[in-house]
Amino acid sequence: MITNPEVQSVKQRFGIIGNSPLLNHAIQVAMQAAPTDMTVLINGESGSGKESFSKIIHSLSLRKHGKFIAINCGAIPEGTIDSELFGHEKGSFTGAHEARKGYFEVTDGGSIFLDEIGEMPLGTQARLLRVLENGEFIKVGSSKVLKTNVRVITATNVKLLNAVEKGKFREDLYYRLNTVPIFVPPLRERGEDVVLLFRKFTSDFSEKYHVRPISLDHEAQAALMRYSFPGNIRQLKNIAEQISLLESERDVDAETLARYLPSDNSRLPMTLPNMSKNNDSSDFSERDLLYKVLFDMKKDMNELKKLVLDSYKNGGLNQAIIQKHQSLFEDMDSGFGTPESTESNPSYVPLVIDSQKSNSSNNEDYEDDAIEDIIHEEDDNSLSLEKKEKEMILRALRKHNNKRKYAASDLGISERTLYRKIKQYEIDQ
């Protein structure tokens, strides 16, 4: 049974700050798994400190005197990852001027940490499964089977089961890697650990920059603990360094701290559930263009609703209100006009609400009905999305003298998408 003093000893040895129960449990699991040769899958968000746990497992294992290599699978190009992990023979591909040993051969008798395992290509996953099952691998360009005795530790910041369901990750490899799962909690779930880590980082930066350490008051500490920290420990360390370097006043309050905390609402969701499966970059750019048009239309509709409400409260569409919101009617061919144009312009239809209905207990219902009538009329007269899109494309082409490359860049879409839209709308250049 792992005792708390043993956990504290490991924290001191590896520089882990915090007393969160979730953090302590993760360290206990790592300590229990370390003496074995079982594969370990470390789950946690990016920046939460997953690599520290791989070092704990290696250092407390029987392989601690062997080599330890940490590899980010997402940072290696798909065309070279097999060569990096398993090696290659001379002349096996263009540029292979000499034979090379892969990481699994170099770390024989030690441990290898594969970070972001979810980014590994399917072909490489099959090779990795063979290493885990039989300890065998084949170099690129060779037919000779080699043996290796390596402890594999993996980590991911995504849910691998979702990747399995989408066919992007092998199911048999997932269950082979997930022998011992370890969950590293995100910073927002570690409570007062945030303040302890901030204090440690500012103390380190005060020595580095030869300044007095930053001190947070109680309100600032509470604000720090409430923040979600999407970047986890990396983000906290970055904020601590900014404050340590830029703030002349070393006693920081909540108002000062807030200037260094990005708004949680700054990351707007730009995809919809039924669109998330489409990863084509040109489609995303095209969707962004449509979102812009939709947001502009929504703004116009909100102003229109405000106009209708004002007119209802004032007993009709009087001249003052029309002049106040005149910009809303500049692009309308019919449906609204000024009260003076009622006789000369038959298309003007004033808003009429029955006095008995307006005085009844269901006043709000009639107000909604009036607004709904105007909305329907606005729908009939407003431009369609396709027409607005065509207008924006024509404007961009005219601006850049029909040069599609620059027009596409201005619109935020690919040149291929722009060409398709030109054909779709039969635009003559």
Three-class secondary structure assignment of 250-307: CEECHHHHHCCCCCHHHCCCCCCHHHCCCCCHHHHHHHHHHHHHHHHHHHHHHHHHHH
Closest by CA position to 67, among listed 75, 54, 58, 57: 58
Neighbours of 305 (CB within 10 A): 14
Strand partners of residue 154: 41, 114
Tokens coding 134: 């039989």
Strand pairing category for 136-138 and 180-183: unpaired
| Ramachandran region, residue 135 (left: φ > 0; alpha: ψ -120 to 50; beta: rest) | left
pLDDT at position 139 is 93
Strand partners of residue 182: 42
Strand pairing category for 251-252 and 215-216: parallel
The tokens 């520290």 sit on which residue?
A: 52
Strand partners of residue 251: 215
Topology of the domain comprising 4-185: Rossmann fold (3.40.50)
Dihedral over Cα of 330, 333, 337, 340: its sign: positive
Closest by CA position to 154, among listed 135, 133, 128: 128
Average pLDDT, rounded, for the chain: 80
Alpha-carbon gap, residue 115 to 58, rounded angstroms? 15
Could you tell me the residue ranges of all domains in the chain? 4-185, 189-266, 281-381, 385-424
Closest by CA position to 49, among listed 227, 199, 182, 179: 182
pLDDT at position 344 is 42
Closest by CA position to 293, among listed 371, 387, 381: 387
pLDDT at position 268 is 41
3-state secondary structure labels for all residues of the chain = CCCHHHHHHHHHHHCCCCCCHHHHHHHHHHHHHCCCCCCEEEECCCCCCHHHHHHHHHHCCCCCCCCEEEEEHHHCCCCCHHHHHHCECCCCCCCCCCCECCHHHHCCCCEEEEECHHHCCHHHHHHHHHHHHHCEEECECCCCEEECCCEEEEEECCCHHHHHHCCCCCHHHHHHHCCEEEECCCHHHCCCHHHHHHHHHHHHHHHHHCCCCCEECHHHHHHHHHCCCCCHHHHHHHHHHHHHHHCCCCEECHHHHHCCCCCHHHCCCCCCHHHCCCCCHHHHHHHHHHHHHHHHHHHHHHHHHHHHHHHHHCCCCCHHHHHHCHHHHCCCCCCCCCHHHCCCCCCCCCCCCCHHHHCCCCHHHHHHHHHHHHHHHHHHHCCCHHHHHHHHHHHHHHHCCCCHHHHHHHHCCCHHHHHHHHHHCCCCC
Task: Reply yes or no on domain 189-266 having CATH 3.40.350.10.
Answer: no
Per-residue pLDDT 10s for the chain (429 aa) are 577 889 999 999 999 999 999 999 999 999 999 999 999 999 999 999 999 999 999 999 999 999 999 999 999 998 899 999 999 998 888 888 899 999 999 999 999 999 999 999 999 999 999 999 999 999 999 999 999 999 999 999 999 999 999 999 999 999 999 999 999 999 999 999 999 999 999 999 999 999 999 999 999 999 999 999 999 999 999 999 999 999 888 999 999 999 999 876 444 444 444 444 444 444 444 556 666 667 667 667 766 766 666 665 566 555 555 555 555 545 444 444 444 444 444 444 444 434 444 444 444 454 445 445 444 444 444 456 677 788 888 888 888 888 888 888 888 788 878 888 888 888 876
3-state secondary structure labels for all residues of 340-367 = HHCCCCCCCCCCCCCHHHHCCCCHHHHH
One of 1.10.1740, 1.10.3470, 1.10.10, 3.40.50 is the CATH number of 385-424, namely 1.10.10
Closest by CA position to 173, among listed 54, 26, 39: 39
pLDDT at position 323 is 59
Tokens coding 233: 């420990």
pLDDT at position 148 is 95
Residue type, 88: H
Give per-residue pLDDT as tens, 42-72. Answer: 999 999 999 999 999 999 999 999 999 999 9
Alpha-carbon gap, residue 18 to 187, rounded angstroms? 10
Backbone angles phi, psi at 312, to 5 degrees: -65, -45
pLDDT at position 396 is 84
pLDDT at position 284 is 44
pLDDT at position 398 is 85
Furthest C-alpha separation in the chain: 96
Spatial contact of 319 and 337, defined as CB atoms under 8 Å apart: no
